[in-house]
């Protein structure tokens, strides 16, 4: 088990989470077409949102990124063929300590079927690289030399996945999925009393914001169809457990179709938040108004706009409008007072709609704005400004400049190539895997007195700069608090796949069983005998996963998936 120090990992070690030690990682990618003609800082701050605009600006000014082999500045214009390169000190978010369970291993060695826990991304993406299904399966912990994903699940969704062990098997299995020869069934817990009988939703789906991943029902979208059947109604919690049979495989299909019916998944961080979809009980039932606006919203302007509540209670909309007006004024003040520097589209909100294939309505823009604000507030961007404030002069030290690297490439499609002299390592990362809850840590903050103290202590000796507690001693970024294990998954699980070569299924998640009291599996284990047991082997992890599962018929009326 890895013994991570407080300064090199998260603020505390939650035994219900799996950690990866921070590590340096080289990146090399080529400019995408949508980046052409845009400034480097604008592209970075708009495309990638895991750090603040201030941090990106400061890191680029420190010269940590090269363009075609030369140091790039924030104002460098990107062109066709440009090669970007940098080295980052990666702090991967932890995932659940619950192991990936192997449901079936093909006797011929062509494929495996796994039960993916919620919180695991399928493949490297965003801030996740080693804490992903593909990388974990290829580590010594599981021992597979090469894996090919056949079907994919959202990071927060759990359940069945087919993983091929060679390219030929991958092609065959992928064709089965594309041709609709694989019948899929999911189980979900939703808000409210879901109607009895079969419900069919065939509304087309469209992604209108890549940054937040927002998908909505829209006539311009791709064909999508899902069949729903209620399994049972939990009167005490006013929630229903529903069997879901997607006939197509669109992004967020089940989640959006359930929202369209007015029964979103309760812990869905995108489609079931009152602060995003208004405080009314409808949660965008029947879809949102996508009628194109006559004007493009600009949060950087204080000009008065005529808003009208598209749905929900007027008081809720008034509250949201007041918040937007306040941010408009704050943005205007920043525009006039921040050393005359140019504000990025991400700071003004001008980039909202830039990735949408259709012109957006006022309502759609406001929903995207709320989703982005929610994420920014959760990440607490003020912390990044704090660290930039008192490391500005410290970066005169070559050692500090070297370590102030920031990631410019965050999705697997962008990481087209590794540095030629830095081959990708298959060495397994050290990780911490235990099983018991712990108290959620408090996010770090920097007090003004501490800032002044650090400033004074480093005058004339920038190389002696030492970050305070709660910040990485290598790259000086604030160490994020551990996520709440309850927020690492949603109540959506791929429970059964029926194929031409067999039927595969998992046990029913604890939250989908009748009589569930709200506790999750790791909480229940912690209260019983063997609490806080360490998972020392794959076999032990499989046994634990099997003990938590029990078969149940989720097909009312004998319907087959």
Nearest alpha carbon to residue 20 among 402, 378, 424, 433: 433
Pairing status of strand 17-20 against strand 95-96:
antiparallel
Q: Is the dihedral of CA 415, 417, 419, 424 positive or negative?
A: positive
User: Is pLDDT at 213 greater than 50 in this prediction?
Assistant: yes
With pLDDT > 70 as the criterion, what percentage of the chain qualifies? 63
Instruction: Compute and round to an integer the Cα radius of gyration of the chain.
Output: 24
Instruction: Compute the mean pLDDT over every residue in the chain, rounded to the nearest whole number.
Output: 74
- Could you give the domains of the chain? 17-92+382-464 (3.10.290.10), 95-277+485-547 (3.30.2350.10)
Give the chain's end-to-end CA distance (angstroms, integer).
41
Mean pLDDT of 268-293: 80
pTM greater than 0.75 = no
pLDDT of residue 485: 77
| Angle at which helices 314-337 and 362-379 cross, to 10° | 70
pLDDT of residue 387: 56
Classify the phi-psi angles of 236: left when phi > 0, otherwise alpha if psi is within -120 to 50, otherwise beta.
Answer: alpha
User: Is pLDDT at 532 greater than 60 in this prediction?
Assistant: no
Give CA torsion, residues 122, 124, 129, 131, to 10 deg: 0
Contacts of 261 (CB under 8 A, 6+ apart): 194, 199, 201, 228, 285
Burial class (CB in 10 A: 0-12, 13-18, 19+), 137: buried
Q: Confidence band (pLDDT; 50, 70, 90) for 404? A: very low
Task: Please identify which of the residues 82, 154, 209, 351 carries the catalytic annotation.
Answer: 154
| Catalytic residue list contains 294 | no
| Structure confidence by residue, pLDDT tens digits, 431-452 | 343 333 333 333 344 444 543 4
What is the length of the chain?
561
Nearest alpha carbon to residue 495 among 544, 555, 439: 555
Mean pLDDT of 381-391: 54
Mean pLDDT of 260-277: 91
Mean pLDDT of 283-311: 57
d(Cα 374, Cα 370) in Å, to the nearest integer?
Answer: 6
Angle among Cα 50, 484, 523 to the nearest 5 degrees reads 155
Mean pLDDT of 37-63: 79
3-state secondary structure of 58: helix
pLDDT of residue 195: 96
Q: Please give the structure tokens belonging to residue 422.
A: 């830095």
Strands (DSSP E) contained in 193-299 are: 198-201, 205-209, 214-217, 226-234, 239-246
């Amino acid at each position: 088990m890895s013994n991570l120090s407080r300064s090199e990992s998260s603020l505390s070690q939650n035994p219900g989470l799996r950690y990866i030690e921070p590590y340096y990682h080289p990146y090399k990618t080529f400019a995408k077409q949508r980046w052409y003609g845009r400034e480097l800082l604008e592209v970075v701050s708009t495309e990638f949102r895991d750090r603040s605009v201030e941090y990106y600006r400061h890191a680029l000014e420190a010269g940590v990124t090269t363009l075609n082999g030369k140091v790039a500045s924030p104002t460098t214009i990107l062109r066709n063929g440009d090669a970007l390169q940098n080295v980052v000190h990666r702090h991967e978010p932890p995932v659940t300590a619950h192991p990936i369970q192997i449901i079936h291993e093909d006797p011929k060695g062509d494929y495996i079927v796994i039960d993916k826990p919620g919180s695991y991304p399928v493949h490297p993406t965003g801030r996740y690289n080693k804490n992903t299904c593909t990388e974990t399966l290829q580590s010594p912990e599981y021992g597979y030399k090469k894996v090919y994903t056949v079907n994919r699940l959202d990071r927060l969704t759990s359940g069945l996945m087919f993983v091929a062990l060679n390219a030929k098997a991958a092609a065959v299995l992928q064709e089965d999925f594309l041709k609709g020869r694989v019948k899929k069934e999911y189980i979900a817990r939703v808000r409210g009393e879901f109607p009895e009988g079969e419900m069919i939703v065939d509304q087309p789906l469209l992604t209108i914001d890549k940054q937040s991943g927002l998908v909505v029902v829209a006539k311009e979208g791709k064909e999508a169809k899902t069949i729903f059947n209620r399994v049972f109604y939990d009167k005490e919690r006013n929630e229903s457990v529903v069997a879901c049979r997607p006939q197509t495989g669109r992004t967020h299909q089940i989640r959006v179709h359930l929202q369209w019916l007015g029964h979103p998944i309760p812990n869905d961080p995108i489609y079931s938040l009152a602060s995003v979809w208004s405080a009314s009980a409808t949660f965008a039932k029947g879809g949102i108004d996508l009628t194109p606006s006559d004007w493009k919203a600009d949060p950087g302007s204080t000009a008065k706009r005529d808003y009208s509540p598209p749905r929900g209670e007027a008081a809720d909309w008034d509250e949201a409008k007041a918040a937007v007006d306040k941010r408009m004024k704050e943005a205007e003040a920043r525009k006039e007072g921040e050393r005359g520097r140019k504000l990025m589209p991400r700071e003004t909100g001008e980039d909202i709609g830039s990735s949408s294939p259709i012109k957006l309505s006022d309502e759609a823009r406001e929903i995207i704005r709320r989703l982005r604000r929610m994420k920014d507030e959760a990440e607490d961007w003020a912390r990044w400004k704090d660290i930039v404030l008192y490391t500005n002069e410290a970066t005169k030290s070559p050692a500090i400049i070297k370590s102030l690297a920031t990631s410019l490439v965050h999705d697997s499609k962008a990481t087209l190539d590794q540095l030629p002299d830095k081959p990708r390592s298959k060495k397994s990362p050290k990780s911490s895997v235990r099983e018991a809850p712990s108290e959620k840590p408090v996010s770090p903050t920097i007090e003004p007195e501490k800032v002044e103290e650090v400033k004074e202590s480093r005058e004339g000796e920038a190389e002696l700069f030492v970050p305070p507690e709660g910040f990485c001693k290598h790259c000086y970024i604030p160490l994020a608090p551990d996520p709440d294990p309850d927020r690492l998954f949603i109540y959506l699980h791929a429970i059964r796949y029926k194929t031409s070569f067999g039927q595969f299924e998992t046990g029913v998640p604890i939250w989908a069983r009748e009589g569930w009291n709200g506790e999750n599996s790791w909480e229940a284990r912690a209260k019983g005998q063997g609490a806080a047991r360490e998972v020392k082997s794959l076999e032990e992890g499989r046994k634990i996963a099997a003990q938590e599962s029990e078969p149940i018929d989720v097909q009312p009326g004998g319907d087959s998936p």
